[in-house]
Amino acid sequence: MIKQQLLQISSADSFFNDHTSLYSFHSIHPFVPLYKGEFQISYQNRLVIKNLALGSNFIRFGEDKFINLKNVCMQKIVHPKTGLFGIKLSKNGVDLDIFGLSDQWIEIMKRYTIQFDFILKYQLLNKLGEGYSTIVYRARNKLTKQEYAVKVFDKKRLLINKFEAKKFLNELKIIRCLDNQNLLKIYEVYESNNHIYLILELFKGDKLASITEKQQALSEQEIVIIMKPLFQVVQYLHDLKIFHKQISTQSIIFKNKNDFSNPCLIDFNQAVQINEGDQKDEQTIPLNPEKQILYYIKFDVLSLGIVMHNLLTGKSFQVNQVIDDAMMNKFRGAEDLQFIDPPLSDLCFDFLNSIFYQGLKPKTCRQLLAHPIFDQENQKTQRNLGIQLIGILNQNSSRFRINSKQSQRSPKAVKVISLKKDFNVFSKSPSEKPPNLNNDYFEPPQSHLMFRRGSRQKRTLNFNNLNEISS
């Protein structure tokens, strides 16, 4: 168990101190106030009335004077003379005491500020997981009895390892600006002498990886139910110019047990945010942000496609093993989709094909969400028809593309049918010779594979080269 301590040092010694001023003297555009009010503040050892406005992570202190609440230290205080309850905001040794704040203000401010009294508010329970410099616990709020997940960082390791510290601060910056039911939610941040505590939403379900590890069979409809909110939430991230870069079955967890309708995306330690307007993060802005954004969009979309592929086929491809091939339209695992039992629906084949073979311009999650596979009424009326398929194999490539939108089902196995002498491929009668053939023995081309499913309908899966796919 982690030894818990209260921090007894000033804000100037905080891990989060970036040596900037508590106040900024430039206009914030657009500044949208959520709450406004008159409050008492301590100024030159006396209380004065001040009009303040709170908007997201900013407090407007004057016409062109703001306080950026991100990583500002916050402590609850009591005025020694009046007995009024208030908070002390401090950064780099500069303090501001505000009295009379409502609970709504404090709840918003807790998301962005750093507090010091973790052991007074929370009780650590059992350990949920462990990483290189982190341990995740289940914890209980002593007052409300509500349970949370607490991610505990070793402060000394962060101070020694600048790379880990930068990655941690970037992750914290990103998850603070997220507000979506299918994303990790952060409530508070605490600091002690030795540790940093992130108070996070507690998920009671399993990770998606545990389903594939247990080889738990999911129907196509269940998989679509899982994937739809994931495509929606990744589009939400992309709208904020946030790119996850680590989407896999390990980074997807369910809010509740046995409920596939609420998958959540976690693990933002590799995520990036491209924001040209952020002057403090110029080092993270690529030289060509438009191309970088297109690259990241394709990366995240293909990662979702690999997750869906794993669920449909029972494979366990890791994203880092196949993402390079997928980015170059060379993902060989896609051919496994032909041999799934029960076979995939026509819509599912077409949807996955649109993910893995996007051509020169990548498809966004918004475009993919318009696919009829996510139309529930369409799914209800979809028929399961057995048909005969003919697959054409290109010897130089194993990639395929669906050319027809007729109903299709894939077989369990692929069999090459050798046609014997005097066999007529048109009449299927051994006594008749094929018309316009000079030889009396017909050898089927090696590039053809015959699929039989009890129907005379035909559909072709083309294994094309890269140039044909791109065109």
Q: Where are the domains of the chain?
A: 17-111, 118-200, 208-382, 384-471
CATH topology of domain 17-111: PH-domain like (2.30.29)
- Cβ partners under 8 Å of residue 432, min gap 6: 422, 424
Which class is 208-382 in CATH? mainly alpha
CATH topology of domain 118-200: Phosphorylase Kinase; domain 1 (3.30.200)
Q: What is the pLDDT along the chain (471 residues), one digit of tens a residue?
A: 555 554 456 788 899 999 999 998 877 878 899 999 999 998 777 889 999 999 989 999 988 899 999 999 999 999 888 888 999 999 998 999 999 999 999 999 999 999 999 999 999 999 998 887 899 999 999 999 999 999 999 999 999 999 999 999 999 999 999 999 999 999 999 999 999 999 999 999 999 998 878 767 789 999 999 999 999 999 999 999 999 999 999 999 999 988 888 999 999 989 999 875 544 444 455 568 888 999 999 999 999 999 999 999 888 887 878 888 888 888 877 777 877 888 889 899 899 989 988 777 889 999 999 999 998 655 554 433 222 222 322 333 333 333 333 334 444 444 434 444 444 433 444 444 444 434 333 343 333 333 333 333 333 333 344 444 343
pLDDT tens column, 251-293: 999 999 888 889 999 999 899 998 755 444 444 555 688 889 9
Q: What is the pTM of this model?
A: 0.76
